[in-house]
Amino acid sequence: MTAPSETPSTFPPAGRLLGIDYGTKRVGVAIATPDRTIASPLEIYQRRNEQLDARYFKTVIEDYRPCGIVVGLPVHVSGAEGESAQGARRYGKWLGELSGLPVEFWDERYTSSVAEDYLLGADMTRQQRKKRIDMVAAQIMLQSYLNFHRPPASLTELAADVDADDETSEEE
């Protein structure tokens, strides 16, 4: 799962991000911690109509106060965009206009497969997996985005972590 482009982030340097796994019937929603280290599944929204969809997302944005939205882009294995990707781009544009927040798109290849494997490992029934897969896919996509944009640890920080681990081992 890599960035669809190498453009730098348009989001402010800190604050929550909302992750969206777009679908024509359901939308998986995930939220990042304010420090952008962890993405968590939030819920699955059953799409109804534009007015009710707008009300739902306005409420989520009011409740969680994200500073940006990351929309999963379902590109083909080759990286080419098809009809689904165009639908996700239209939906992302609509969310940006609705919320006034910046929107970025992120490659979501294989997120549903990874989510399915994760939920299979949790020993859930098919019906339980179906209820959760979109929000887990949104979480996986958003976590991929966060990991890619996390600044690399400095060598000093890495050395301090190793020293702390060594001291802990000696005490045991």
| CATH code, domain carrying 58 | 3.30.420.140
Average pLDDT over residues 85-97: 96
Give a yes or no: residue 58 inside a domain.
yes
Give a yes or no: residue 129 inside a domain.
yes
Q: Closest Cα partner for 70 from 128, 2, 141? A: 141
Confidence of residue 111 (pLDDT cuts 50, 70, 90): low
Strand partners, 17: 68
For residue range 116-158, what is the model confidence (pLDDT) as tens digits? Answer: 666 667 777 777 766 776 788 888 899 999 998 887 766 566 6
Give a yes or no: residue 131 inside a domain.
yes
Q: Which of 68-72, 121-125, 160-164 has the lowest mean pLDDT?
A: 160-164
Q: Please check whether residue 6 is in contact with residue 134, taking contact to mean a CB–CB distance below 8 angstroms.
A: no
Domain count, the chain: 1
- Residue 6 pLDDT: 52
Give a yes or no: residue 144 inside a domain.
yes
Q: Please check whether residue 107 is in contact with residue 21, taking contact to mean a CB–CB distance below 8 angstroms.
A: no
Give a yes or no: residue 8 inside a domain.
no
Task: Sheet with 26-32: list strands edge to edge.
Answer: 39-46, 26-32, 17-21, 68-73, 103-107
Confidence of residue 64 (pLDDT cuts 50, 70, 90): very high
Give a yes or no: residue 165 inside a domain.
yes
Confidence of residue 2 (pLDDT cuts 50, 70, 90): very low
Distance CA 72, CA 139 (A): 10
Give a yes or no: residue 128 inside a domain.
yes
Residue 1 pLDDT more than 50? no
- Residue 157 pLDDT: 63
Give a yes or no: residue 55 inside a domain.
yes
3-state helix, strand, coil in the chain (%, to 5): 50, 20, 35
Residue 53: give the domain boundaries: 17-171
